[in-house]
Amino acid sequence: MTSTPDAPAVGALSGLFESTFGSAPDGVWQAPGRVNLIGEHTDYNEGFVLPFAIDKTAKVAVRIRHDSRVRLLSTFGGQGLVEADVDALVPEAAKGWTKYPLGVAWALQQRGVLVPASTSSWIRMSRWARDCPPRTPSNAPSSPPSTS
């Protein structure tokens, strides 16, 4: 198994990104899928675990943006294009799979990490994409993720 994205999948994701957002992504990344044969919730309780990688992957294409908008699109779930403002994230507004990336952005902000806005295309168990703006230092917002 390789951690390097395969060229056809990268090309397909980059094409989806470009046709949706109007320009090429800044980069494409991938992470392997994994399953736990044993060990769900036991690893942090000093129990035994046996995770292993599988042949499925999640890929994401990302472009940094120059505003506070985050635009997310996944090939999974049929939710369509979702937009949010990283400066006004509230948990109640996030829907479906977008709770994962928006929740991470909100949690990082709660810890004082500057989160850049972006555009992304995601292909779940295969591919994803995202479009994000660079951020300038400022006070991190104290409210959670929102898609409003």
- Select the more confidently predicted residue: 2 or 56: 56
The topology (CATH level 3) of 7-132 is Ribosomal Protein S5; domain 2 (3.30.230)
In 3D space, the residue among 36, 111, 108, 122 whose CA is nearest the CA of residue 72 turns out to be: 122
Cα distances from 107 to residues 60, 94, 144, in angstroms, run 20, 13, 8
SS3 42: coil
Residue 26 binned pLDDT confidence (cut-offs 50, 70, 90): very high
The answer to whether 86 and 115 are in contact (CB under 8 A) is yes
Q: Name the E strands within 27-109.
A: 27-36, 51-64, 69-74, 82-85
In 3D space, the residue among 41, 38, 144, 147 whose CA is nearest the CA of residue 94 turns out to be: 147
Q: What is the mean pLDDT of the chain?
A: 76
* DSSP-assigned beta bridge partners for residue 82: 72
Q: Over the stretch 87-131, which tens digit does the pLDDT of each residue have?
A: 888 877 788 888 888 888 888 888 988 888 887 766 543 333 444
The answer to whether 23 and 129 are in contact (CB under 8 A) is no
In 3D space, the residue among 39, 34, 40, 38 whose CA is nearest the CA of residue 52 turns out to be: 34
The Cα–Cα gap between 85 and 69 comes to 5
Q: Is the per-residue pLDDT at 137 higher than 50?
A: no
pTM of the model: 0.68
For residues 33-41, give the mean pLDDT: 79
